[in-house]
Structure 1
Amino acid sequence: MATPMEEDLPESSAAAAGPTPAPPGGNGEKPAPADSDSDSSDSDDGGDGGDAADELRIQALESALQEQPLDYESHVQYIQCLRKSGKIEKLRAAREEMNKYFPLTPKMWQEWTKDEISLRPESFDDIEKLYERGVQEYLSVRLWRDYLDFVEEHDKSVSQCSPPGLTKMRNLFERAIIAGGLHVTDGSKLWEAYREYEMAILTIVDDDDEEKAKQVQRIRALFQRQLSVPLADMESVLVEYKSWEAEQGNANDPSSNFDGVPSTVLSAYKKATEMYNARKQYEDQLSNADASDGDKLQEFLKYIKFEESSGDPARVQVLYERAVSELPVSSDLWMGYTSYLDKILKVPAVIKSVYHRATRNCTWVSELWVRYLLSLERIHASEEELRPVFEQALQCSFPNIKEYLDIYLTRVDSLRRRMTDGLDFQLIRQTFMDATEFLSSQMGTEDLLLLNAYWAKLERTLGENLAAARGVWENTLKKSGSVLEVWQHYIAMEIETGNIHEARSLYKRCYSKRFAGSGSEDICHAWIRFEREHGTLDDYDLAVKKVNPRLKELMMFKSQQEVKVDNHAFSKETTANDSSQKRKPSKMPTKQQPPAKKRKDNPPKSAVQSDDQGSKEQSSTDHAKAGEFSGEKNMEMNLVEGSRTENTSSKESKSNFYSDKCTIYMSNIDLTANEEHIRRFFSDIGGVTAIRLLRDRFTKKSRGLAYVDFSDNEHLEAAIRKNKHKLLGKKVSVARSDPSKGKKSREAGSFSKDQDRLPASGDSGEKAVSASRSDKDIPKDEPKITGKNTFAAPRSVIKPLGWTKKDDKSDDGAEELKSNEEFRNLLLKKCVDLHAVFKPRDFLIVLS
């Protein structure tokens, strides 16, 4: 027999299988036994080195297949190596092993059957079974022709033309015609073989007129059947039919194209010709050898859509078989094929066969397995058929864990629907247990909830076992107790079954848990609603008593989180503004200017040092001037602050220190808002005692921040609840003030108190000041103690007023320090000169 032609192997399958090795016989036709001459000659040519390499290769492939039995490429290479080495028994076992996991291509079946025919020609039954298996996996006209030739040649009953043999052969031909007779390009080969067989029988029964007439009618019927099918080269078939009719004496005008052809046959022929012409464009596209698999797939899909519109299910089925034979791993084709069978053909045998082949070719497509299970149930398959399919599906490798869940749920659905057929509920329970064990470690909370909710429901309804249903939920809580939906489903089940006490117990167990998002608040409100609808007044009061503190706690926590977010955002904004300001020229002088340029009223010359004075004396003068300016500026700021804020003591104005024990912090305030707007904002709750709106120290414009003091915590809590309410069209953030954040400010505000504890001498005082307070600790809004403004500085910081260069030279003649009364008088006099609106009473308060 001839070697199988390369064209019989689908392009995609041939590519997957790799290059086909030459058979060990040396002639490219069939393998020879291990002790044959041809095998020996090959061995001599290859040498011992070649045999050793082949043996090592075989051993390596055997090891690989033991570890990965689903490696398609290793199976193909292993079979090729065994076929080349002539190890027949191993080769046969390797082919069986591969076919257990994968369908074989038509070329592989041709090689297998031809090898078996050459080695065991007497094993007709075994080889016939191989052909049966081969023609059921893919549509291959050439494989069918090989099968028909084999039976006709080797089956004694067929070769002897016995009645059983004739019946068997005709049945086999009819099967071949059904499988591939509608193949537009290759189907005519099967029709031709069928006619040739019947014509050979005609020559045998030529002596029996009755049998001859029957046989002539069989041949005529085959011609007419073929002429009604749209196939390639129909004109030659028509010519052959006319010639055959002429031999039977039925032709009157041989020159006429249709002479001797019955009108019914002629009408069918013309219709078939039109159908072929409509399909020729699709066939031409598919015959393009240079087209890729993707292009072929698109052409097949177009062709299939056209055939489906024609409404002939048999033609659609044959076209699908052609497509999956050429593109066996295209899941789109298998999905479309199985869907068409489920909706249109609905033939149980065909459906089972196609789904079996689909899942063997595309094992990774979970939807095919789901459809397979549903289709088997639809055709009323038994549990013995369904269970193996379900178990095979679980052994496949799916890309997503949800696909395994879908397989399990489909299985449970099927068992639930067939409970009326006498199935034991234990099957459902065991399936759920297996699913939980298999999936729980990888499954998300949502999917696990879906599975367990279904399980608990079936335990309660079909199993009629409420305790088992509760056990399902309790096990779920151990793994997902922080998921609100789990508690909600559990509680809903108890309410649905009328177990109000058990539902209340669940609320008591979960109302204090922390859930994601607003879940904690939701479960508290749900408990209150539950007691309104199902509980007594005592139950309702108890729920309120437990829930309200929890809600307040959650509200405070949420407010704190929002304040942290706002502060973080404000800090980022401030940092950005500071960094941008560093790149711009400042309006304020960056270097210390001479005192004469800062103030018009220069001090007396006696207070100004000459240029040739020593560095120590100059330093003392600078500190004295800085103290004077700082004292004057601080006093002015304190007085202004005291005039702006109501109910604020002069001590607080002087030190800018607040305890914030009952204070809220507001941010994101509209820049046009003032204290009165803020007071009106809280007018509905009352209790406001003081408002401190923070302003820029240079422009005096609002910074959008404020502190508001309240009389007690009750009003404070009510104020916090106004968080995110709108003030002048903007949502403001309201939260409890955190005193720890103002630590540096309080330390800065208490600087005036620390000054009284500094040493009295000039040099030691300067060192103490610099040691106790660095420039970093001084608030930005407090002027540094530099320059001439020393009138309000303590005696320990500056040198006495009236100190001159002459006095400095003589230690004995130094002026004595002024008394407190003298210092107060001098201070008041200077303040009156600076600002007419200031009253001596105010300064006395500051100096006290």
Structure 2
Amino acid sequence: MSELFPLTEEIWLDWLKDEIRLTEEEPNREKVYELFERAVKDYLCPDIWLEYAQYSIGGMGSPGGIDKVRAIFERAVTAVGLHMTKGQTVWEAYREFENAILSTVQPPPGRIPSREEQELLNTQLGRIHTLFRRQLAIPLMDMEATYAEYEEWSDSGVSENVISQYKKASQQMEKCRPFEESLLAAEPPKLAEYQTYIDFELKEGDPARVQITYERTLAENCLVPDMWAKYTTYLDRQLKVKDLVLSTHERAVRNCPWTMGLWKSYVLALERHGADHHTVSDVFEKALNAGFIQATDYVEIWQAYLDYLRRRVDFSKESSKELEELRGAFSRSLDYMKQDVEERFGESGDPSCIIMQIWARIEAHHCKNMQKARELWDSIMTKGNAKYANMWLEYYNLERSYGDPLHCRKALHRAVQCTSDYPEHVSEVLLTFERVEGSLEDWDVAVQKTETRLNRINEQRAKAAEKEANLARQEEERADQRRKGKSEKKAQKKFQKGTRTGEKRKAEQDDYHDEWNDDAGTEEMGTKPKRNTWKLRRDSLGGTLPLALNLPPGAKRAQQGDDKPELRNDNSSVFISNLAYTLEEPEAKLRTLFETCGPIKQIRPVFSNKGNFKGYGYVQFESTVSVAEALKLDRREVEGRPMFVSPCVDKNKNPEFKVFKYNASMEKQKIFISGLPFSCTKEQLDELCKSHGTLKDVRLVTYRSGKPKGLAYVEFAEEAQAAQAVQKMDGMEVDGNKISVAISNPPRRNMMDKPGSNRPTTDMMPRQVFGSRGRGRTQLSLLPRSLHRQSGPVSKVENGNSAEPVPTTASAAAANAAGETKPLSNSDFARMLLSK
């Protein structure tokens, strides 16, 4: 496993301890030493270095054992001695070892040492003094205790030089203390805290401290390609130490093999530090098998390797081994793009044939082989590039620089015939060429050919424009028909509703007058009407009167048909949408949001007929300058929803105007997350994703009401970070929910939202079919059973005994006879209720 991937500090320690136990009875300690050497190369691990040094102490008895222990301790303090929190343990272990050696060279009490013994004693004391001084010159945690220990140990006291260095280190320690405390308080992987620490050390300018901070960061963030890229770039440009630079590049590609940029930097670093050709080629072959996530990554790594091979060639020789290897690599790269990349990704990755263009230019410029260059350009044009003017002009410039006028003219003539994007430009270049190089006959041929081609192009453009205009006109006619049909339908419904309401009120008034006359006649005959009957009539009559509702001003206007605001100047207005329906006092809320943009002339939130806020409205400013400031508030979060702010445009005058709030194409730096728990907040999602790279935006998708949908979009600073997040987060469980993560690739709205469009059916639940008119209304009756009209005579029941049937009203009987349901009048309700 260690051959393929770096191992963590915990795994290495477990492995090393097992090997140490297995070799206790064997004299072979070299096997364990080799394992320690592999372990210290993966990450910066103070505990592994400490274990390595302590294990080496057990071999002091062998020849040269003490020197070997000292060498390992020296490497340890060089590697991790600057570690602010863990470096002190290595220094203390080193001093304890030297103190143990000191006890063996001190003479017994009462005996005067010989001169050789005294020299050996002084040398050992000098080693311990040096260790104290070196440690006190480095900012470390709890360095005050080390200084106190040195004062107690040293018989001659502490020198002024040591005190001065100790004070400087203490001051540096105080500068670093806030960063160390933030690291201690933060949760892993602490990427943001480490980045802040690195920025601080870069400003301080101490290369050793910058290096140790990067190493500490990568020990906890080993799968962040951007951090490896920053570290290797710093080493390439600042330290430039061959062993350190190359080992770091190797570790980078072992940790993040899917990142093409790290392999490319590795190849360049190998060439920069004079690595042999076999090593560079071996690294390149490993890069091809690393499994990049984009077709273009393979094009870039091939370009880096071909550049390296080109720089090895001595073009002063007509032929050489390096030149043949370069040509073979170019040929192999084209086969690789065609066979491997296209089959894997479904695209070439090099549509403009950049690799072939470079090969052709090398053949023309360095090898003076225009025949090969022309063959390559013929192949480039046959791959679908003949319709582009810039490709022909690139070929023309090559012929102009290294070819002859005959082939220049031939290339321009072919360009005029084949170019479809900018034929006018190609024609102008041809005519300019003939003005400089051609004869009168050549000029006449060029003029005739360009005129014929341009006339044909203009005819095609006119036909295309006419076709587009016809389609637009048809679409406009269909839209007008739809609008007209909706208006007629709405007017018809309004008329029918008004008619029914008028008939109902007239019937109620007639019934009331009839009842009043009947009661009056009864009173004249000496019979008083019942009090509860009169009360019912009065309530029924009062119920027909309009009620004064306590609605917002906007809602009252909406009731009066003023649903569409009248904004006189669209240039000074903005349209606000995507607000929550539950927004309280929307006019005051909008005024608070937009009053910083400039003086406001009018705010018009739109309400429904029932007085409910529709979630959109208009803001009109006194000056058009304020509109630009208001548009900056687009997507500002208002009560958990992104508020959309767009220019106020009359759709009748500009029917094609559209404002797309979000990208509808693939966004390789953005990921789409589904299956999130509804309780997930933006802060929780930010904490979940920031370990994979630098976040630019986090957006939770919600309904208009503000309730979450369980979906989110997260945008990273770079595409590699988004790819890493997909690889690491897909299938992860969040609060018991298994989430799905993919690169953001929303469906095209113009294809997916049109009625009758062929929507993809894969991976989708089958939709329920409701018929041509959609889902029908519920068939349940919402009228209480006591008020249901009975089809036959109603039997009056008193005390459980059946009484004589109560006949229905004349109006009800007429309605039953007609097979229709007529609304009940006040008298009908009165008879039904009083009969109980």
Work out whether 1:461 is the aligned partner of 2:365: yes
Give 2:187's aligned residue.
291
Q: Are residue 437 (structure 1) and residue 335 (structure 2) matched?
A: yes
CA-based RMSD of the aligned residues comes to 2.5
Q: Which residue of 2 aligns with 1:130?
A: 35
> CA 1:539–1:325 in 2, change beyond 3 Å: closer, same or farther?
same
Task: Tell me what 2:475 maps to.
Answer: 572
Larger deviation, residues 169-178 vs 521-530? 521-530
**Aligned equivalents of 2:172 and 2:480: distance in 1?**
80
Q: Is the 1:324–1:334 contact (alpha carbons within 8 Å) kept by the matching residues of 2?
A: yes
1:245 corresponding residue in structure 2: 154
Shift of 1:528: 2.9
Distance 2:349 2:206 in 1: 48
1:146 aligns with 2:51: yes
CA 1:190–1:523 in structure 2 vs 1: closer, same or farther (change >3 Å)?
same
Q: Do the aligned partners of 1:453 and 1:489 also contact (CA within 8 Å) in 2? A: no
Alignment of 1:253-402 (within 5 A): 260-288=157-185, 291-293=187-189, 296-402=190-296
Which residue of the partner structure matches residue 120 of structure 1? 23
Distance 2:166 2:486 in 1: 93
1:196 lines up with 2:90 in the alignment: no
Q: Is the 8 A contact 1:232 1:276 kept in 2?
A: yes
Cα gap change, 1:284 to 1:580, in 2 (>3 Å): closer
CA-CA distance at 1:118 after TM superposition: 2.0
Aligned AA for 2:469? D
Partner of 1:503: 408
Secondary structure (helix, strand or coil) at the match of 1:171 reads helix
Post-superposition CA distance 1:688-733 (Å, at most 9, x none):
xxxxxxxxxxxxxxxxxxxxxxxxxxxxxxxxxxxxxxxxxxxxxx
Cα distance, 1:239 vs. partner? 2.3
Residues 552-582 of structure 1 show CA distances to partners (whole Å, capped at 9, x for unaligned) of: 2222222122222223333334454556566
Check whether the contact 1:369–1:393 (CA below 8 A) recurs between aligned residues.
yes
Give the partner amino acid of 2:135. Q
Where do residues 709-788 of structure 1 align in structure 2 (5 Å cutoff)?
A: none
Task: Tell whether the 8 Å contact from 1:425 to 1:463 is kept in structure 2 after alignment.
Answer: no
* Structure 1 counterpart SS, 2:353: helix
1: distance between equivalents of 2:410 and 2:428? 16
2:10 is equivalent to residue 107 of structure 1: yes
Tell me if the contact between 1:445 and 1:480 (Cα under 8 Å) persists in the aligned partners: no
1:637-648 correspondence runs (5 A): none
Find the aligned partners of 2:76 and 2:477 in 1 and give their Cα distance: 85
Shift in CA distance, 418/582, structure 1 to aligned 2, threshold 3 Å: closer
Distance 1:584 1:172 in 2: 89
Cα offset, 1:444, TM superposition:
5.6
**1:101 aligned counterpart, secondary structure:** coil
Structure 2: tracts of 5 or more residues without a match: 108-116, 489-836
**Offset at 1:549?**
2.4
Q: CA 1:418/1:570 → structure 2, altered by over 3 Å: closer, same or farther?
A: same
2:296–2:349 Cα contact (<8 Å) kept? no
Which residue identity is paired with 1:431?
A
Is the alpha carbon distance of 1:264 and 1:177 closer, same or farther for their aligned partners in structure 2, counting shifts above 3 Å? same
Shift of 1:321: 1.2
Counterparts in 2 of 1:200 and 1:520: CA distance versus 1, 3 Å: same
Which of 421, 437, 441 is matched with 1:534 structurally? 437
1:552 aligns with 2:455: yes
Q: Distance in 2 between matches of 1:479 and 1:581?
A: 51
Give the match for residue 692 of structure 2: none
Q: Does the Cα contact within 8 Å between 1:402 and 1:443 map onto a contact in 2?
A: no
Question: 2-side partners of 1:583 and 1:174: how far apart?
Answer: 87
Alignment of 1:173 onto 2:73: yes
CA contact (8 A) 2:84 2:140 kept: yes
Where 2:222 maps in the other structure, the secondary structure is: coil
| Partner residue of 1:159 out of 61, 67, 83 | 61
**Cα distance in structure 2, aligned partners of 1:150 and 1:370:** 39
Q: Pairwise mapping of residues 622-661 of structure 1 onto structure 2 (< 5 A)? A: none
**C-alpha distance after superposition, 1:472-509 (max 9, x if no partner):** 11222222254324333223322222422223333444
Alignment match, 2:297: 403
- CA change 1:446–1:181 in 2 (3 A) is closer
Offset at residue 127 of structure 1 (A):
1.3
Residue 185, structure 1, aligned to residue 89, structure 2: no
- SS of structure 1 residue aligned to 2:163: helix
Residues 214, 509 of structure 1: CA spacing in aligned structure 2 closer, same or farther, 3 A cutoff? same
Matched, 1:472 2:472: no
Of residues 416, 427, 440 in structure 1, which corresponds to 2:325?
Answer: 427
CA distance in 2, matches of 1:135, 1:578: 77
Q: How far did residue 382 of structure 1 move?
A: 2.4
User: Which amino acid in the other structure matches residue 443 of structure 2?
Assistant: Y
Take 1:504 and 1:267, find their aligned partners in 2: how far apart are those partners?
A: 79
Q: What is the distance in 1 between the residues matched to 2:290 and 2:122? A: 58
Query: Residue deviations 1:648-678, cap 9 Å, x none?
Result: xxxxxxxxxxxxxxxxxxxxxxxxxxxxxxx
2:352–2:385 Cα contact (<8 Å) kept? no
Q: Which residue pairs with 2:393 in the alignment?
A: 488
CA–CA distance in structure 1, aligned partners of residues 359 and 86 of structure 2: 54
Please tell me whether the aligned partners of residues 337 and 348 of structure 2 are also in contact (alpha carbons under 8 angstroms).
no
How far is the alpha carbon of 1:464 from its aligned partner? 2.8
- SS across alignment from 1:232: coil
Q: Distance in 2 between matches of 1:193 and 1:550?
A: 86
Query: Structure 1: 5+ residue runs without aligned partners?
Result: 1-97, 251-259, 586-848
Query: Following the alignment from structure 1 to structure 2, what is the Cα–Cα distance between the partners of residues 584 and 231?
Result: 80
Deviates more, 1:301-310 or 1:413-422: 413-422
The aligned counterpart of 1:209 is 118
In structure 1, distance between residues paired with 2:485 and 2:76: 90
User: Judging changes above 3 Å, is the alpha-carbon distance between structure 1 residues 527 and 216 closer, same or farther for their aligned structure 2 residues?
Assistant: same
Residue type of the alignment partner of 2:327? R
SS at match of 1:226: helix
* 3-state secondary structure, aligned to 2:258: coil
Alpha carbons 2:82, 2:138 under 8 Å: kept: yes
Any conservation in 2 of the 1:331–1:362 contact (CA below 8 Å)?
yes
Change (3 A) 1:476 1:193: same
Within the alignment, does 1:231 sit opposite 2:131 as a pair? no
How far is 1:530 from its partner?
A: 2.6
Q: Partners in 1 of 2:386 and 2:373 — Cα distance?
A: 20
Give the whole-Å Cα distance in 2 for the aligned partners of 1:111 and 1:215.
35
Q: For each residue in 1:93-141, what CA deviation from the matched residue of structure 2 results, as whole angstroms up to 9, or x when unmatched?
A: xxxxx22221111222112222222223423111110100101111111
- Compute the TM-score of the two structures, normalised by the length of structure 1: 0.52
Q: 1:504 to 1:243 in 2, by over 3 A?
A: same
Given the superposition, is the C-alpha separation of residues 573 and 326 from structure 1 closer, same or farther in structure 2, using an over 3 Å criterion?
closer
| Alignment-mate amino acid for residue 174 of structure 2 | N
Counterpart CA distance in 2 for 1:238 and 1:198 is: 18
Query: In the superposition, relative to structure 1, how do residues 348 and 584 fare at CA in structure 2: closer, same or farther (>3 Å)?
Result: closer
Identity, in percent, stands at: 35
- Residues in 2 aligned to 1:580 and 1:276: alpha-carbon distance in whole angstroms: 74
- Between structures 1 and 2, the one with greater helix share: 1
The Cα offsets for residues 526-568 of structure 1, whole Å up to 9 and x where unpaired, read as: 3333322222111121222333223222222221222222233
Q: 1:602-617 counterparts in 2 under 5 A?
A: none
How far is 1:361 from its partner?
0.6
Aligned mates of 2:350, 2:332 — CA distance in 1 = 18
Deviation at 1:431, TM superposition (A): 2.2
Report the equivalent of 1:59: none
Cα drift, residue 170 of structure 1: 1.2
Distance 2:481 2:92 in 1: 94
